[in-house]
Amino acid sequence: MTLPLDDLGRSSTEPFGVQGEVPVETEVPEALFQSLQEFLRLHPQWEQPQVLRSALASFLHLNGSRERAVADLYLESLFRRDD
């Protein structure tokens, strides 16, 4: 199953904005895709690009990335409020 990541990065109006966005497309196992769809159904305040950004930032940060933008996105996802 192909999963587009159309909105990777941040705009200048979002917290901890990273300038520029890069479209990414990747294949994921169908079980992951179905789990993502179920998560999004149960948490309508989240959007697919937000979940994927959060997951990628978490993976990179926890595996040694020293980039400030990655750390900012990681921390933002940890302290995200679902108002």
More confident residue, 82 or 75: 75
The answer, yes or no, to whether residue 27 has pLDDT greater than 90, is: yes
Taking the complete model, does pTM exceed 0.75, yes or no?
no
37-63 mean pLDDT: 93
The answer, yes or no, to whether residue 16 has pLDDT greater than 50, is: no
User: How far apart, in Å, are the Cα atoms of 71 and each of 27, 57, 79?
Assistant: 25, 7, 12
| pLDDT value at residue 83 | 58
Instruction: Name the nearest CA neighbour of 6 among 54, 52, 72.
Output: 52
The answer, yes or no, to whether residue 1 has pLDDT greater than 70, is: no
- Classify residue 73 by burial, with Cβ atoms within 10 Å: 0-12, 13-18, 19+: buried
The answer, yes or no, to whether residue 7 has pLDDT greater than 50, is: no
